[in-house]
Structure 1
Amino acid sequence: MGKGGRIACICTPYALTIASLVCIIMVGLGCTKSSSATLNNLYFFRANLQNLTTSSTVESTVSSALESAGVDVSSSDLATALNEAQKQLNIKDFYDIGLWGYCDGDVSNGNYKTSNCSKPKAEFYFDPITVWKLNDTGVEDVLPSDLSKALNVYKNVSKWMFIAYIVAFIATVVELVVGVFAICSRWGSCVTSLVSAVSFLFITAASVTSTALFAVLKGTFNEALKDYGIKGYMGKNIYIATWLAVAFSLAASLFWVISSCCCSGRSPYHGAGKTRGVTAEKAPYTYEPLGPHANQTPAAYGNTSYPPPPAHGTQVPMQNMRTNAYEPFRHV
């Protein structure tokens, strides 16, 4: 297989690597631009607070607390007070969590409209107490213990998840650069296979971590805050993107290994620096002369160059020998 076949063999893993890189980039771009509907649909977790003040459970809980304190208030007055509190705290209807930050917005007729996205930050994690400006309200002291533990785990694991995605991105870029040299030889494919293995390892670890982390957070979030009208949901598109990146990376790794074992770029005709040639057979009853007269074309019939009869006299028979020879095959 020549250089053309080698290039064709490298195109498949190279295209798969590019596809994996695109998916990783899509994961990173999620929740970074409020004006992009596509990027706003790429989130790991969504906290829905639109029913925070309209939940009857919340109203009854607060009403019971007020009655215990000797304060008599109607349900309508309570709903008005809770709505006013939400406006003063500027709490949005929903919050979407991405890799670099979060976006928030309001819900209108079932449509989620993003109004703001936070500034991208490395090793980002979503702190609801800080984002909802509840630091001075003492709410963090009365949060359910399960939710507090889940938030602490999320804070620590999210840093590792961010690092894993960054390493996967860098390794995939290096894989594309090194993959160019794989066209020249199988040694290039071997090195690219090692880099591809690193990329696959970290993108898989990041995908597993994000899926497991937010699945646990969703369960704890809904269980602890269901009485307050707050619900949590996992995203869909971002998980499709991250697991497609895993699939493309795995396929690319396998094809890089195959290209390092097969698809040699050297031509079979130049294995030892020899020129290409074929062995041809002469037509029947003809001969190819060797020696100083090798370039002369012998006749098929007529003079067959038989040796002359032996000479007599001063000539010695041993000296009357032919200076040329013939062979039935030739190499051209």
Structure 2
Amino acid sequence: MGKGGRIACIFTPYLLTVGALICLILVALGLYKSSGPMTNVYFVKADFKDLDPDSTGLANDLLPFTKGLQQADAQGIIHDFYLIGFWNHCYGKYDTKSKKYQIEKCTDRKTRYWFNPVDEWGLDEFDDDKADGKSIMPEALDKGVSAYKKVAGWMFIAFVVAFVTTALEMIVAIAAVFSRWGSLVVTIISAVSSFFYFAAAITATAMYTVFISGVNTSLKPYKVKADLGKDMFAIIWIGVAFSLASGIFWMFSVCCCSGRSPYGHTERRNGSISRRTTAEKTPYTYERVSSPYSGARGGGAGDGATAPLTSMPQAPGGRDMAYEPFRHDGRT
């Protein structure tokens, strides 16, 4: 397989690497402003349009939180819905006529962002017992938010490392065209990229699943519900599939798809090794054959033959007629 075959061999993993990088870019360019084509790319949607903080039959341990929700809702602090993205969150109103959610504003972007419902809704202001160090939130929601806070920073770092290594993978992949050593280096970088890509994906999935579970469990009596963003997680896991597949193909290019020509042969001349290419013979062409009459000069005698037995007829000019046995001299 020559250089052309080598290029074809690495074309597939290179395209997969490009696909993985595009998915990471889409994650980063997801929801972060109130308008644009990426407003559907978010991690979580919390729906408060049917919020009823005056619901009855609530457990006693929810009463402080209930009081906070009531006062926050009365002051218009709580919005109809919240969308949590990679860098920030957005909120807005639900239009009952068009039955559509309309984003009003997005918060400033921050690294290692996590959504803090207590700060967002100002619940601390309504907690009369906050001096005791206990959270005003219900237990299930408090656990979900605490876990979310702890791993949000790690998730952000994992995505950043995955992005940097995937971009580096695309650059170094050019070296893979010329040698298997280049493929080995790319394979190592791809392994690092895939590891952090998968780690970021599994962290985000687990983290936000726990978070919405806490919201749905604790706030269901208030008619609040939360859902995962399907578009965001579809993009993430498609990117993971691209990344893992590219790593497998890069590994394949290390042990296979040599850039050397299949017709290359080595021979030793004057103590050094040189490479020459042997071309295949074209069918139905003339080639010289051994003559029983020409001895060593014709190639028919074995080692030790020193003289021809007899001479073959020669054409005018001294050319051996054995090359073209059907040649005639034009005479009738």
- Shared fold (TM-score greater than 0.5)? yes
Q: Is the 8 A contact 2:12 2:249 kept in 1?
A: yes
Q: CA deviation at 1:117?
A: 1.6
Q: Is the 8 A contact 2:2 2:258 kept in 1?
A: yes
- Equivalent of residue 83 in structure 2, options 49, 72, 96: 96
Which residue does the alignment assign to 1:137?
126
Q: CA deviation at 1:243?
A: 0.5
Matched, 1:276 2:265: no
Q: Quick one: structure 1 residues 85 and 264, their matched pair in 2 at CA, closer, same or farther if it must change by over 3 Å?
A: closer
In 1: Cα distance, 2:235 partner to 2:12 partner: 20
Q: CA deviation at 1:6?
A: 0.7
In 1: Cα distance, 2:137 partner to 2:5 partner: 64
Secondary structure, counterpart of 2:115 in structure 1:
coil
In 2: Cα distance, 1:119 partner to 1:144 partner: 28
Q: CA deviation at 1:268?
A: 3.2
Which residue does the alignment assign to 1:234?
228
* Aligned pairs (5 A) from 1:14-163: 14-36=14-36, 38-52=37-51, 55=52, 58-60=54-56, 86=73, 88-109=75-96, 110-138=99-127, 141-163=135-157
In 1: Cα distance, 2:94 partner to 2:81 partner: 8
Q: Is the 8 A contact 2:72 2:123 kept in 1?
A: no
> Could you list the per-position Cα deviations for residues 221-258 of structure 1 after superposition, in whole angstroms to 9, with x for gaps in the alignment?
11111122221111100110010011101110110011
In 1: Cα distance, 2:143 partner to 2:18 partner: 39
In 1: Cα distance, 2:205 partner to 2:26 partner: 16
Structure 2 residue identity aligned to 1:16: L
Q: Is the 8 A contact 2:13 2:247 kept in 1?
A: yes
Secondary structure, counterpart of 1:31 in structure 2:
coil
In 1: Cα distance, 2:290 partner to 2:102 partner: 90
Which residue does the alignment assign to 1:197?
191
Q: Is the 8 A contact 1:222 1:231 kept in 2?
A: yes
Secondary structure, counterpart of 1:257 in structure 2:
helix
Q: Quick one: structure 1 residues 49 and 142, their matched pair in 2 at CA, closer, same or farther if it must change by over 3 Å?
A: same
Structure 2 residue identity aligned to 1:125: W
Q: Is the 8 A contact 1:106 1:112 kept in 2?
A: yes
Matched, 1:183 2:177: yes
Q: Is the 8 A contact 2:265 2:277 kept in 1?
A: no
Name the larger-Rg structure. 1
Structure 1 residue identity aligned to 2:49: Q
Secondary structure, counterpart of 1:125 in structure 2:
coil
How much is the aligned-residue C-alpha RMSD, in angstroms? 3.1
Superposition TM-score, scaled by structure 1 size: 0.75
Which residue does the alignment assign to 1:260?
254
Secondary structure, counterpart of 2:276 in structure 1:
coil
Q: CA deviation at 1:269?
A: 3.8
> Could you list the per-position Cα deviations for residues 113-153 of structure 1 after superposition, in whole angstroms to 9, with x for gaps in the alignment?
11212222110000011122333221874321221122111
In 2: Cα distance, 1:167 partner to 1:27 partner: 14
Q: CA deviation at 1:197?
A: 0.7
Q: CA deviation at 1:85?
A: 5.5
In 1: Cα distance, 2:257 partner to 2:222 partner: 63
Q: CA deviation at 1:33?
A: 2.2
Which range moved further: 264-273 or 235-244? 264-273
Structure 2 residue identity aligned to 1:48: D
Superposition TM-score, scaled by structure 2 size: 0.75
In 2: Cα distance, 1:88 partner to 1:243 partner: 40
Structure 2 residue identity aligned to 1:44: F
Q: CA deviation at 1:283?
A: 4.2
Which residue does the alignment assign to 1:302?
314
In 1: Cα distance, 2:100 partner to 2:263 partner: 67
In 2: Cα distance, 1:19 partner to 1:247 partner: 10
Secondary structure, counterpart of 1:274 in structure 2:
strand
Secondary structure, counterpart of 1:105 in structure 2:
strand
Q: Is the 8 A contact 1:19 1:245 kept in 2?
A: yes
In structure 2, the gaps of 5 or more residues are 61-69, 267-273, 299-310, 317-321, 324-332
Which residue does the alignment assign to 1:296?
none
In 1: Cα distance, 2:248 partner to 2:72 partner: 57
> Could you list the per-position Cα deviations for residues 271-301 of structure 1 after superposition, in whole angstroms to 9, with x for gaps in the alignment?
54433345884046496959xxxxxxxx973
Paired-residue identity, %:
40
Aligned pair count reads 278
